[in-house]
Structure 1
Amino acid sequence: MSDLGWLDDPQALEAEHVIVLLPSLGTTVRIFDELVDGLTGRWRDLAVLRADLPGHGIAPRAYEVSIPSLGAEVSAVVRMLRARHVTVAGVSMGGAIALEAATHRPPDLDSFVMINSGTSFGTPDGWRTLIANVTEAGVAATALGAKAGWFSPDFAESARAQALLEDLSRIDSSSYVACCRALADYHGPADLGQLDVPALLIATSDDTATPPTGLRALARRLRHARFVELPSGGHLSLVEHSHAVEAILADAIQKGRTNDS
């Protein structure tokens, strides 16, 4: 049984070029709407697979999950594709899942992308407090903290930001707690120095949830990594700086496509 909630894309199974997109804790695949429009506008032959985290969006509830197991699920899906070029990209928790998927080295994986992510998340005390609050009052209790951490003050009042915060309030509380525990327990793969899949790591200078120092350090440990730091914005740079992230990601995808020509 799948722990992730995969959005059906009939073209993906037969497409030669596929991107897999994985969202962050507390969000759904709607955070990728603008990115998908931009990338498919650049390449008509690019198919998109998106997957919600457990208990988020269309995904089934889950009471126990781990980031390595979710990465293994993504790798298994990639192996089912007939594509010649695949990129797996994720935001925060989704980025860690993308990293874990890459450690399985599925064929035809051109690169993986981690956006505002890392190989460790938060502090034990912080996770205990968050889990206690959600257990007592539901996911809606996290809304104010999410609003402050995800976006800059100006963008936080936008319709786009408000829509994502509404998605947050609909997430299953038990599954959210399970994802929190998965993040609290996560410390990254042990064999990072042996990973030869090209990586793109995107951070934001103002991100307090996953500060850029983490991805910068990870880039030094990987064999083939490009690190990019955006100058402003909160944890969801993909949303607030959608055009900048799209351009950076498109460059990585284009390099993979060019290598086949």
Structure 2
Amino acid sequence: MYHELLGRTDPHAPTLVLSSGLGGSARFWAPQLPVLTEAYRVLVYDHAGSGRSPATLPEGYSIATMAAELLALLDELDVQRCHFIGHALGGLVGLELALQRPGLLQSQVLINAWSSPNPHSARCFAVRKNLLNHSGPAAYVQAQALFLYPADWIAANSAQLAEDDAHALAHFPEPANLLKRIAALQAFNVEAHLGDIAVPTLLIANRDDMLVPWQRSQHLAQGLPNGRLCLLDYGGHASSVSDSTTFNRVLLDYLAEQA
């Protein structure tokens, strides 16, 4: 998989692994990299079958498979301990990592993630699948901001979003791969194993997230033995982009606490 190791180069620097959501692109974390790379060694990567990691995803592709792919990359890079930061689908990968190799994670930060399906998110993803299947990638990309960002932020950042849409369309993944990734997150369910995940975990959620209800993060915080909820008022599903100043402060404070 395509990856980049950024920031500090000394062997004793703490390592952060950043895993993006459904889009799977390392580019998602651009608003965080300037502040994180000052103090940490930072690994970003494009998920298999997306961005610069070409692949034909198999039938039955799952979040567990995504975690195994990341573990193979971490083994290749000899990353034995790390802090994990995952957004949405990336957060599900973190939960799987904690189950598959609990000794790897020093802590994790899961942003607008979940442990089992819910009817609201299922409806949203059904809409996105219908757009892709019946209207094509351009319609899918055009609608994406509506699921990710607050309405006022969309109105104030139309030029940036136009550039983002053009980039997303130019690098759009194989539709079959995207549909398999959506199916994987829809099937994800680790309710029975939450009590086994002892990794210190910060759950960041947004009250105005229209894709994943913030109560799903609250549920995780209650079910994980060392879970803690930070509930933000503004930012939508991707507050790391739409309110990066607030998000970065919360993230850095938690990482400093873990150190």
TM-score by length of 1: 0.84
Equivalences for 1:1-261 in 2 at 5 Å? Answer: 5-9=1-5, 14=11, 16-26=13-23, 28-41=25-38, 43=39, 46-64=40-58, 65-79=61-75, 81=77, 85-121=81-117, 123=119, 126-157=124-155, 158=157, 159-169=159-169, 170-172=171-173, 173-188=175-190, 190-257=192-259
Distance (Å, rounded) in 1 between the aligned partners of 2:66 and 2:201: 19
Distance (Å, rounded) in 1 between the aligned partners of 2:243 and 2:142: 21
| Runs of at least 5 residues in structure 1 that lack an aligned partner in the other structure | none
Distance (Å, rounded) in 2 between the aligned partners of 1:255 and 1:81: 26
Tell me how far 1:189 sits from its aligned partner: 5.5
**Which SS does the other structure have where 2:103 is aligned?**
coil
Tell me how far 1:198 sits from its aligned partner: 0.6
Distance (Å, rounded) in 1 between the aligned partners of 2:114 and 2:142: 23
Distance (Å, rounded) in 2 between the aligned partners of 1:248 and 1:108: 23
Tell me how far 1:117 sits from its aligned partner: 1.6
**Which SS does the other structure have where 2:234 is aligned?**
coil
1:36 to 1:148, Cα distance in 2 relative to 1, 3 A: same
Distance (Å, rounded) in 2 between the aligned partners of 1:144 and 1:91: 21
Equivalent pairs: percent with the same residue? 26
Amino acid at match of 1:74: L
Tell me how far 1:80 sits from its aligned partner: 5.0
Tell me how far 1:132 sits from its aligned partner: 3.8
| Runs of at least 5 residues in structure 2 that lack an aligned partner in the other structure | none
**Which SS does the other structure have where 1:9 is aligned?**
strand
Tell me how far 1:179 sits from its aligned partner: 0.8
Amino acid at match of 2:222: R
Size of the aligned set, in residue pairs, is 250
Distance (Å, rounded) in 1 between the aligned partners of 2:9 and 2:219: 34
Tell me how far 1:151 sits from its aligned partner: 1.1
Distance (Å, rounded) in 2 between the aligned partners of 1:231 and 1:207: 9
Tell me how far 1:180 sits from its aligned partner: 1.0
**Which SS does the other structure have where 1:184 is aligned?**
helix
Please say if residues 6 and 51 of structure 1, whose CA atoms lie closer than 8 Å, have aligned partners that are also in contact: yes
- RMSD value, Cα: 2.5
Residue by residue over 1:229-255, the C-alpha shift from the partner in whole angstroms, topping out at 9 and shown as x without a partner, is 110121111101112111111122212
Tell me how far 1:99 sits from its aligned partner: 1.4
Distance (Å, rounded) in 1 between the aligned partners of 2:146 and 2:16: 30
Please say if residues 205 and 231 of structure 2, whose CA atoms lie closer than 8 Å, have aligned partners that are also in contact: yes
